[in-house]
Amino acid sequence: MTSTPCLISVIIPCYNYGRFLPDAVNSVLGQKKDGLAVEIIVVDDGSTDDTAAVAQGLGSAIRYIHQENQGLSAARNTGIRAAKGDYLVFLDADDLLTAGTLASHLDNFAAHPELDVSVCLSLQTFENKDGSAANYLWPLKCAHLDMHLCHSNISPVHTFMLRANAAQEIGFFDPDLKACEDQDYWLRCAALGKRFGVNPEGLVIYRQHGQSMTSQMPRQLAHDAAIRFKISMLLETRPDFPRAGKFYGWLAHAAGTICSACGLYSSAPQFALKLLDESSKAILRTAALAAQTKIEDAHLILAERYFVGEYFLRAGGFAAHFCRTLEKAAGFLATRHAKLASLSKRELGTRQKQLFPRLCCDYERMQTTVKRSSIICER
């Protein structure tokens, strides 16, 4: 008896991206060559261009839903409500799945049935003013993704495939967030104890251009800063988040928060100083847990060094604002990591660049996936 294949729901929100939509939809239809059952839900968020006409031209290939303009999060939420699949994928209308990506996610779930979320690679492409293109491969952390979420967003939203039953527990994207709504969503997912796993065999093309939300960096930085306080709340209230332990969660959070403070200092200095204080408090929470934390995982040993290095690199820029809390935090780290504390800023920066790739999936393996996908796309 042949079992019914799992259904994958790919949700594509679209706002004035009619010119991109056919490519996105065709990239999903191409996944059916692997024998997959896929439904494509296009949510038109009140577009004023030709999105409706383009969607109608796609016919039965998609399920088209029109709504008044409510924003990206609301459009994704509409797609979640309409989805009938066993798995969900969120693909923006200007992005592309490469061949075999959805199948690679399913293979990852089959090999690791304990997973609730599978995360693949993302190749970000930039359109320069002169017409030339540049690419950036998002580095994918190789382990403890819930801990790394305490530091920063780990990957673009389109690289995730999650089980529909997990999505039912998480709820919806926060429509009040106009940026970083995906990081907020995955943080809530991790805080509920859902398990994340890496999939370096799949690849999504992330096209950045003048209209992309990520091109609006000031707003992005402001929302990223606001997320820092939500992470503090989750670390305070969720006893098993992250799975590696509170020591690493607070340390990752401290490093990410001081990075946010640096990014905001020139445009919002008072808010940046609040983040600096938040970061120092997180270090003190780490210090209180240090004696009872046993380090046995090689990835966590490297992660601690990396997060401490991040903190030292940024803390020096706030020397004029040193207070008792910051002095205590820096003192704890300097005692625990005396060698790192003794390095010059240049030496520390070099060390960080050498350490970071060791926290990520094997670079050659990631490049193999990119090259394989490029060959397939050119056929």
pLDDT single digits (tens) 72-98: 999 999 999 999 999 999 999 999 999
pLDDT tens digits for 155-202?
999 999 999 999 999 999 999 988 889 999 999 999 999 999 999 999
What average pLDDT does the chain have?
A: 91
Percent pLDDT > 90 in the chain is 77
Which pLDDT score, from 0 to 100, does residue 133 have? Answer: 73
Mean pLDDT, range 255-281, rounded to an integer: 91
At 95, give phi and psi (nearest 5°).
-115, 170
Burial tier of 302 (Cβ tally within 10 Å: 0-12, 13-18, 19+): middle
Distances (CA, A) of 251 to 235, 292, 317, 319, 365: 11, 15, 19, 20, 29
Is 277 exposed, middle or buried (CB count within 10 Å of its CB: 0-12, 13-18, 19+)? middle
Q: What is the pLDDT of residue 377?
A: 44
Neighbouring CB atoms inside 10 A of 209's CB total 12
Residue 134, pLDDT above cutoff 60: yes
Residue 293 confidence (pLDDT): 85
Residue 378 has pLDDT above 50, yes or no: no
**Which pTM does this prediction carry?**
0.93
Question: Using CA atoms, how far apart are residues 102 and 108, in angstroms rounded to an integer?
Answer: 10
In this predicted structure, the answer to whether residue 376 has a pLDDT above a threshold of 90 is no
**For range 296-308, the mean pLDDT:** 95
Can you read off the two tokens belonging to residue 35? Answer: 């024998």
By residue count, the chain amounts to 379
pLDDT for the residue 375: 46
pLDDT digits (tens, 9 = 90+) for 215-239: 455 667 677 788 999 999 999 999 9
